[in-house]
Amino acid sequence: MRRLFVANAGEDSISVLCPVRMREIERIPLDGGAALGPRCIAVDGGRLIIANCFDSSILSLDLATKARDFHPVGACPGSMCRAPDGWIVACTESDSLWKLDLALAPQFMAALGKFPLCVSSHKNHALVSHLGSRDAILCDASTLAQKARVALSGNPFGSLITANRLLVSQAFGNRGFVGVYRYDGSTVGRIQLPGVPGRLVEADGRVFAANYWDRGIFALNISTLSVEGIWETSGMPDELALDAESGRIFVSCMMDNVVDVLDLSGKRLGGIPVGNEPRGLAIG
């Protein structure tokens, strides 16, 4: 049975949801002995990989036995992604990317910019956006060697790398846009938005962006650089996840402590109550 996992950053727990029946089936307390602040989450076989902002660790949680193993990384790991030979973790307050092997053992660090906020990957490429140096760096996912740099005109809040494009959500004040770039760092264009775009996910031939400080998500057509729709959600959407099997998009909404469920036409199917301040999502 496929499950949806939710990192509840405000109470140090993981909600386990049934994506079809749209209900919480288990809540796992993390009990780290101190505030953890789980921010992002990934499924890796029979375990969860959880980045904890407050105690600067990566937690491996065995889903069968609930055994857990903490791995120290740089200060405030706020984003992570899979690489072909391990994991990449963006540690915002230490201005560093950490490369971990498949067993989560640290291999090396790289400093590509200031305040790395979001990292994503596609095959052997990784894209990291920096709030402090206001740029996005395309690098090799194995070595973290820089391949291209994009100078940004807004403050980045999310990034996504696709098969042929680099996408970075950016904002000034309460308005923003998604910048679209080529792998060489040159600009394709931008999609203006009536809100602050946050995390991005690719689904059904489109890209979806959370309307971070408000309610709703933006459905974007990257080929035409246009907005296809603004879909209603609960308050302060953060992370987005696609379940390809059910054709549903899940949105963690921090203000209302729910995970909203939408179909690919934009219809809101309901909200699943979860723990305090839901953030990262993972399906597996």
Distance between CA atoms of 221 and 235, rounded to whole angstroms?
A: 24
Q: Tell me what pLDDT residue 204 has.
A: 80
Model-wide pTM > 0.75: yes
- Among 217, 280, 284, residue whose Cα is nearest residue 81: 280
- SS3 state at 94: helix
Residue-wise pLDDT tens digits, 235-249: 999 999 999 888 899
Residue-wise pLDDT tens digits, 50-66: 999 999 999 999 999 99
User: CB–CB of 190/182 below 8 Å?
Assistant: no
- SS3 state at 279: strand
Q: Tell me what pLDDT residue 32 has.
A: 60
User: CB–CB of 259/252 below 8 Å?
Assistant: yes
User: CB–CB of 134/149 below 8 Å?
Assistant: no
Tell me the C-alpha to C-alpha distance, in Å, between residue 42 and each of 7, 48, 89, 184: 10, 6, 12, 29
As a whole number, mean pLDDT of residues 175-198 equals 96
As a whole number, mean pLDDT of residues 259-271 equals 96
Distance between CA atoms of 240 and 245, rounded to whole angstroms?
A: 16
- Count, in order, helices (H) and strands (E) of the chain: 0, 28
Burial of 34 (0-12, 13-18, 19+ CB in 10 A): exposed
Which domains, ranges and CATH numbers included, belong to the chain? 4-283 (2.130.10.10)
Percent of the chain with pLDDT over 70: 99
Distance between CA atoms of 141 and 83, rounded to whole angstroms?
A: 6
User: CB–CB of 114/108 below 8 Å?
Assistant: no
Distance between CA atoms of 171 and 184, rounded to whole angstroms?
A: 23
DSSP 43-59: EETTEEEEEETTTTEEE
Within a 13 Å sphere around the CA of 75, how many CA atoms are in the beta-carbon half?
A: 6
When pLDDT is cut at 50, 70 and 90, the band that residue 205 belongs to is confident
Q: Are strands 125-130 and 146-151 parallel, antiparallel or unpaired?
A: unpaired
User: CB–CB of 170/191 below 8 Å?
Assistant: no
Distance between CA atoms of 130 and 157, rounded to whole angstroms?
A: 9
Backbone angles phi, psi at 189, to 5 degrees: 165, -165
Residue-wise pLDDT tens digits, 70-114: 999 999 999 999 999 999 999 999 999 999 999 999 999 999 999
Average pLDDT over the chain reads 95
When pLDDT is cut at 50, 70 and 90, the band that residue 30 belongs to is very high
